[in-house]
Amino acid sequence: MDLLLQGRYCTCDAGDVSVHEGYVGVADGRIAHLGPNSVPAAEVVEVDGCILPGLVDPHTHLVFGGTRVDEFARRMAGEDYRTIAAEGGGIARTVRGTREATEDELFERAAARARALRAGGVTTVEVKSGYGLSTDHELRLLRVARRLQAEGLVRVTTSFLGAHTVPPGRDRASYVDEVCAEQLPAVAEAGLADTCDVYCDGVAFTLAETRRILAVARDLGLRLRAHVGQFDDLGGAGLLAELGALSADHLEAVSDADLDAMASAGVVAVLLPGAWRTLRQTPPRAERFRERGVAMAVGSDLNPGTSPTADLGLCAALAVRDAGLTLEEALLGVTANAGRAAGVEAGALRVGAPADLAVFPFADPRTLAYALGGSRASAVYLGGTRVAGEPSAPLW
Ligand SMILES: [Zn+2]
CA of 61 to the centre of ligand 1 (A): 6
321-364 confidence digits (pLDDT tens): 999 999 999 999 999 999 999 999 999 999 999 999 999 999 99
Residue 197 has a pLDDT of: 98
Of 7, 62, 2, 109, nearest to 299 by C-alpha is: 62
Contacts of 73 (CB under 8 A, 6+ apart): none
Q: Where are the beta strands (DSSP E) in 172-274?
A: 195-200, 223-228, 247-250, 268-271
Residue 126 has a pLDDT of: 98
CA of 1 to the centre of ligand 1 (A): 40
CA of 43 to the centre of ligand 1 (A): 41
pLDDT < 50 regions, the chain: none
Residue 363 has a pLDDT of: 97
CA of 158 to the centre of ligand 1 (A): 13
Distance CA 368, CA 190 (A): 38
Mean pLDDT of all residues in the chain?
97
Distance CA 249, CA 16 (A): 24
Contact of 158 with 145, CB cutoff 8 Å: yes
What is the pTM for the complete model shown? 0.98
CA of 288 to the centre of ligand 1 (A): 22
CA of 301 to the centre of ligand 1 (A): 5
Contact of 374 with 313, CB cutoff 8 Å: yes
CA of 287 to the centre of ligand 1 (A): 23
Residue 85 has a pLDDT of: 81
Instruction: List domains and CATH numbers for the chain.
Output: 3-53+348-388 (2.30.40.10), 55-342 (3.20.20.140)
Residue 46 has a pLDDT of: 97
CA of 257 to the centre of ligand 1 (A): 23
CA of 9 to the centre of ligand 1 (A): 32
Of 131, 122, 195, nearest to 167 by C-alpha is: 131
Distance CA 150, CA 1 (A): 25
Q: Which long-range contacts (CB under 8 A, 24 or more apart) does 276-280 make?
A: 276/252, 276/322, 277/307, 277/318, 277/322, 278/72, 278/306, 278/307, 278/308, 279/81, 279/306
Of 258, 243, 169, 187, nearest to 210 by C-alpha is: 243
CA of 228 to the centre of ligand 1 (A): 10
CA of 182 to the centre of ligand 1 (A): 23
